[in-house]
Structure 1
């Protein structure tokens, strides 16, 4: 049985934890932009940890289910409608044949997740269903159908309350990148003390930081990068690589976001303010 996409909204796609086996071939890790919210959605339903969800951006996604099941719509804050009636997000929703879900608006954050009992089924590549162009199913389009196994029993799951305090901080934990030691003391001080903001240039590949810092570093020989790597360009721009980031880059890698910091940054909107907190890999803050 399947869920039918009535409205695709923005950037909706199938995502799980991502893939690591393709990095030697230049294939990005991909995966859910906010792994904390993705994991919560699956946990509510008692799903396997790597079950595929639908990831959506801000608003407009509308789905119609042709068989009974249970779902969880996980968001930081938003208006969600089931058959024209507003429902509570981050809870278990019983779905009957013909039911429709509409993501009217995300009030907070950028990304949300629709998990379904036992996960959605789509083509996998290197052990992951996460969307990446030319590898798996494309971004969702109107009239697409996504397969799932109907479930008409009891949910049988005691679900926790989403910890919204997780998203309240404006401090992002970072580690030193491979080229951090090349920075001047002035630049290190600015990184550790200044307040920064996000530009409007944001997508699944990278989020650009609005402020510029004077840069005298040379480009490096191409080296490996990961989601969360912060690159520093000759123009003084800082670019935080996100889930669909390339696997190599030629700009100095000055910082590396923690896993939690990637989740937090992914949900921050343009002009949002934040600060970096430089920490050690073996510190208790990880």
Structure 2
């Protein structure tokens, strides 16, 4: 049984926790942009860890289900329609044959997730179903079909609640990057005390910070990077690497976001304000 893509919307893909197995071959980790919300979508339906979901950006996705199933639409806030009627999100939703689900608009956050009971069934590469254009298709297209197992039983127990306060923290926890010590004392102070905002350049590879800091550092020998690495370009731009980022880079790595901070910044809209909160690692306790 399957769901048919009637309208593809923006950046709609299949995602799970990502594929760390591909890093030695230079393959990005990928995976859900907001792992916290993705995991919640699966938790609602009591799915196994790493079950594949549909991830979507902002609006425009429209799906038609050809057989009964329970689903969850996890968003921070938005207008979601089932057969043209608004429905509650972050809950268990019973789907019947022929039902159409429309992502009309996200009013809060950037990314949302659609889970189905037992997860979507699609091809696996290096232990992951996550889309990445060099390995699989780049995003869902009109008339694509995504398989799932028909489920017409009971919906299960009580539905968990999403802690929205998780997303209200505008302080992003960071660790010092490998090249942080090369920054002047003045730049280090600015980096850890100034308020920053997001530019209009936001995608699954990187989010760009609007403000620039004067950069007098030389580029480094290519080194490893991860989702959450903040690169510092010769022009003074700061790039926050996201889930589809490359695994190596030649720009200084000045900060590294925590896993929670990656989730938080992924849901921040253009011009959102935030500050960095440095987490010091005591090497004596390691």
Q: Which TM class, normalised by the smaller chain length? A: over 0.9
**Residue 200 of structure 2 is aligned to residue 192 of structure 1:** no
For 2:32, the equivalent position in structure 1 comes to: 32
* Equivalent residues, number: 283
- Is contact 1:180-1:253 (8 Å) kept? yes
Taking the aligned partners of 2:122 and 2:88, their CA distance within structure 1 comes to 27
For 1:12, the equivalent position in structure 2 comes to: 12
Report the RMSD for the aligned CA atoms in angstroms.
1.0
List gaps (5 residues or longer) in structure 1.
none
For 1:273, the equivalent position in structure 2 comes to: 273
**Residue 182 of structure 2 is aligned to residue 182 of structure 1:** yes
SS at match of 1:5: strand
Taking the aligned partners of 1:47 and 1:32, their CA distance within structure 2 comes to 16
Taking the aligned partners of 1:216 and 1:138, their CA distance within structure 2 comes to 37
Per-residue deviation, residues 184-232 of structure 1 (Å, max 9, x unmatched): 1001100110000000011000000000101111100000000000000
TM-score, normalised by the number of residues in structure 1: 0.97
For 2:161, the equivalent position in structure 1 comes to: 161
Deviation at 1:281, TM superposition (A): 4.1
TM-score, normalised by the number of residues in structure 2: 0.97
For 2:21, the equivalent position in structure 1 comes to: 21
- Is contact 1:123-1:137 (8 Å) kept? no
Taking the aligned partners of 1:137 and 1:222, their CA distance within structure 2 comes to 28
For 2:258, the equivalent position in structure 1 comes to: 258
Cα distance, 1:187–1:63 mapped onto 2, change above 3 Å = same
Per-residue deviation, residues 58-107 of structure 1 (Å, max 9, x unmatched): 00101000010100000000001111110111000000111111100000
Equivalences for 1:187-226 in 2 at 5 Å?
Answer: 187-226=187-226
List gaps (5 residues or longer) in structure 2.
none
For 2:118, the equivalent position in structure 1 comes to: 118
Taking the aligned partners of 1:33 and 1:158, their CA distance within structure 2 comes to 27
Per-residue deviation, residues 254-279 of structure 1 (Å, max 9, x unmatched): 00000000000001111111000001
Superposition misfits of 4+ residues, deviation over 4 angstroms: none
SS at match of 1:260: helix
